[in-house]
Amino acid sequence: MNVVIIGSGNVATILGRKMFLAGHEIRQIVGRHEDNAAPLADELNCGYVLTLDEINKDSDLYIIAISDSSLAEIGTELFLDKQLVVHTAGSVPKSVLEKVSRNYGVLYPLQSLRKEIKTTPEMPLLVDANTEDNLTLIYDFAKTISDKVEAASDEERLKLHVGAIIVNNFANHLYALTEDYCRNENIHFQMLLPLINETASRLNSFPPKEVQTGPAERNDFQTIEKHIELLAQNPALKKIYEVMTESIIQNVRFKVEKFKVVSDK
Amino acid sequence: MNVVIIGSGNVATILGRKMFLAGHEIRQIVGRHEDNAAPLADELNCGYVLTLDEINKDSDLYIIAISDSSLAEIGTELFLDKQLVVHTAGSVPKSVLEKVSRNYGVLYPLQSLRKEIKTTPEMPLLVDANTEDNLTLIYDFAKTISDKVEAASDEERLKLHVGAIIVNNFANHLYALTEDYCRNENIHFQMLLPLINETASRLNSFPPKEVQTGPAERNDFQTIEKHIELLAQNPALKKIYEVMTESIIQNVRFKVEKFKVVSDK
């Protein structure tokens, strides 16, 4: 397919690379920031322009990979008649494109993408469209750049986006807090990396509930208390320790009251 | 070395296998539960007994891999004179063994170990001992079963144990909550596995703070609000969404007040 990419950030770059490798012809990059658009156009062997006024209007597919707030205004800035156009956002309905073209949809990568990482990880794609025919077109296109493609409505995509935030942003925030904590306490965060990798890769074989371990899971209030004391100087981490511990305890159906009695001592 | 293992659970089994593979002679398993002790003894080509009274008393090393609460009472049940004895607990001081033998220490695996998983992941070991000579003995022994060995005091071990709980138990709990959520909402948790793996493996190349993304990190209160509304029927996950989001926002030095205004709407 002939493709125009609107955007030149992480998602634009990674999708661009995947499409280029799959043999699609990237026609043009439309990017506001020349510092990003120029090198991406160079890498994908195409031209670039800095405004939507200069967009190439006769390509097969337009991929919009810009921020959610810019996407909200795209209906007043881009008019494509009948060319197929997709956005790449998890939490924005496809109808944001209804004034852009008669044929529109979504191509949402359910992965954390960083252009500086050259070996792209497995990237599931969620697709959606305003008609069955467009859905088939987008689905088939998606299959050329990913093995894992599923159709998902606006609502399903939004829900999976929430899931993605929990397992990516929140897990990573736990790692970031732990790294800070290790630095402050003069212990080596690096020693925890094998455990972090094991915790993730184990999910390929076991459901997470089956491999839950630790003091909260086994109702070990003495250890929990020891840990909460240790975190007295670190209120941010202490709060999260308490909330997560309480949530695990609730999940294993122990009485929450019991934990509260211990932690209020 | 000639080794006696006290315990027959996950830690006893995994350490036993590693020692066996490294060429150490396992002399005996001491385990209360015959259902666990017998197959482990069989796997490690040694005998087993069910009580501490029957323990073999002339081995080089005794490894205690039992629950923290049982460990607290070991000083009244096991007397070894001068044989080297170690426990394997993250949050228990080494002095719990001072009545067991004149020579004691710790061999703590900083990994989540499950005996049903045959391919054991990389397993850092934290070692400690009551004398320099014993520390050297335990360190050298540890190096025969792991590439990553560090000496760590009681306090350092406790702190790393807290870190381990955060990056393993809490991250896994996020996965478990997300899996439940996906099941309830009829969306596919499996689609999130590549993202989970990428989030973890990326830490081998980037510090977590540098790869933090998502609505909280970029101050995108509109998306946060959308997600919190979506979680209205799921108070457990909603609470965690709010606490983690607030923590990320605090971490990027945005005003907490701003988030509260949005979430209280």
Nearest-CA distance from B208 to chain A in Å?
5
Between A and B, how many residue pairs show a Cβ–Cβ distance under 8 A? Answer: 315
Query: Are B74 and B144 in the same domain?
Result: yes
> Is B68 in the A-facing interface, judged by CB distances under 8 Å?
yes
> Is A49 in the B-facing interface, judged by CB distances under 8 Å?
no
Nearest-CA distance from A262 to chain B in Å?
17
Cα B40 to its chain centre, rounded Å, is 21
Angle at CA of residue B69, ends B67 and B71, nearest 5°: 70
> Is B170 in the A-facing interface, judged by CB distances under 8 Å?
yes
The alpha carbons of chain A give a radius of gyration, in whole angstroms, of 23
Query: Are A55 and A6 in the same domain?
Result: yes
Nearest CA in chain A to B180: A209
> Is A149 in the B-facing interface, judged by CB distances under 8 Å?
no
Query: Are A85 and A200 in the same domain?
Result: no
> Is B248 in the A-facing interface, judged by CB distances under 8 Å?
yes
> Is B234 in the A-facing interface, judged by CB distances under 8 Å?
no
What is the pLDDT confidence band of residue A254, given thresholds at 50, 70 and 90? very low
Whether the CB-CB separation of B63 and B6 falls below 8 Å is answered with yes
Q: What is the pLDDT of residues B173-223, one digit of tens each?
A: 999 999 999 999 999 999 999 999 999 999 999 999 999 988 999 888 989
Query: Looking at this predicted complex, what is its ipTM?
Result: 0.91
Cα B2 from Cα B46, distance rounded (Å): 11
Residue that is written with structure tokens 């934290």 in the block: B126
Query: Are A11 and A107 in the same domain?
Result: yes
Nearest CA in chain B to A111: B195
Query: Are B16 and B117 in the same domain?
Result: yes
Residue range of the domain that includes A212: 159-263
Whether the CB-CB separation of A206 and B238 falls below 8 Å is answered with no
Q: What is the pLDDT of residues A113-167, one digit of tens each?
A: 988 888 778 999 999 999 999 999 999 999 999 999 999 999 999 999 999 999 9
Query: Are A8 and A129 in the same domain?
Result: yes
Q: How many other CB atoms are found less than 10 A from the CB of residue A82?
A: 8
* Boundary-marking domain end, from B135, B152, B169: B152
Q: How many other CB atoms are found less than 10 A from the CB of residue B78?
A: 19
pLDDT at A265: 45
The alpha carbons of chain B give a radius of gyration, in whole angstroms, of 23
Query: Are A35 and A106 in the same domain?
Result: yes
Q: Which residues of A touch B127 (CB under 8 A)?
A: none
Query: Are A144 and A171 in the same domain?
Result: no
Q: Which residues of A touch B227 (CB under 8 A)?
A: 91, 158, 161-162, 165
Q: What CATH number is associated with residue B69?
A: 3.40.50.720
What is the pLDDT confidence band of residue A253, given thresholds at 50, 70 and 90? low
Q: What CATH number is associated with residue A244?
A: 1.10.1040.20
Identity of residue A240: I
Cα B27 from Cα B30, distance rounded (Å): 10
Q: Partners of A106 in the beta sheet?
A: A87, A128
A148:B172 CB<8 A: no
pTM to 2 decimal places: 0.89
Query: Are B49 and B147 in the same domain?
Result: yes
Number of domains present in the structure of chain B: 2
* Boundary-marking domain end, from B129, B152, B175: B152
Whether the CB-CB separation of B67 and B76 falls below 8 Å is answered with no
Q: Is a pLDDT exceeding 90 seen at residue B119?
A: no
**Among A80-84, A87-91, B258-262, whose mean pLDDT is lowest?**
B258-262
Query: Are A54 and A75 in the same domain?
Result: yes
Nearest-CA distance from A184 to chain B in Å?
11
B226:A91 CB<8 A: yes
* Boundary-marking domain end, from B133, B152, B171: B152
Query: Are A134 and A255 in the same domain?
Result: no
Cα A97 from Cα B3, distance rounded (Å): 69
Query: Are B40 and B63 in the same domain?
Result: yes
Q: Please compute the mean of the pLDDT values over residues A12-34 and round it to a whole number.
A: 97
> Is B242 in the A-facing interface, judged by CB distances under 8 Å?
no
